[in-house]
Amino acid sequence: MRIAYARVSTDKQELYRQLDALEKVGYDKLIQEKFTGTQKKRTGLDNLFHTVRSGDTVIIESISRLGRKTLDILSTVEELKEQGVEVISLKENLDTSTPTGQAMFQMMAVIAQLERDLTVQRVNEGLSSAKARGVKLGRPTMDKQKVKDALRLYDSGHYSVKDIIRITGISQGSLYRKIKERESKKIIAQIDEITEL
């Protein structure tokens, strides 16, 4: 089955140009949506994945209809290929069922991998530079007194978690983490007492 997929980013945009191009080459089923390509999770794209079967072909007017980022587009095409589905993009003259289309797709994959590697390299260089300048990395250490105060307020039973966060300035996650740590220590201490008997 030949399944056409058309997408524009907003409700104000129209699909006419894409639909005209797709109708010229023909299709058995059309899936269309108006949703931003920056999101990988889209109703129309989900519908496409639920519709396709091994041996089907997905036709798009342009490869950019599958997403905004190269990595997202590649992962979508790879997922379709894993299901035995070929992809045809009219604008780029890309057909993953042909040797030329496969080569183009592999070139895109190489470029995407290069993007990933360069991003990792830039992050590592930034971290090294920050360390060299004496910047402390990772989570900021919590003020021990604030933690003690927060636990004391929690134990009193007179304050809500919201109040404790507002009064002490520690985050909700930190408070719950410290409560959990304390409970774990109590349990370990009780187990130690039992084993010593």
Q: What b/e string do you get for 133-156 counting C-beta neighbours within 10 Å, with b at 16 or more?
A: eeeeeeeeebeeeebebbbebbee
What is the DSSP track for 74-131? HHHHHHHHHTT-EEEETTTTEETTSHHHHHHHHHHHHHHHHHHHHHHHHHHHHHHHHH
3-state SS, residue 137: coil
In this structure, which amino acid lies at residue 21?
Answer: A
Q: Is 65 within 8 Å of 74 (Cβ atoms)?
A: no
3-state SS, residue 3: strand
By annotation, the residues acting in catalysis are 9
For residue 169, give the DSSP letter. -
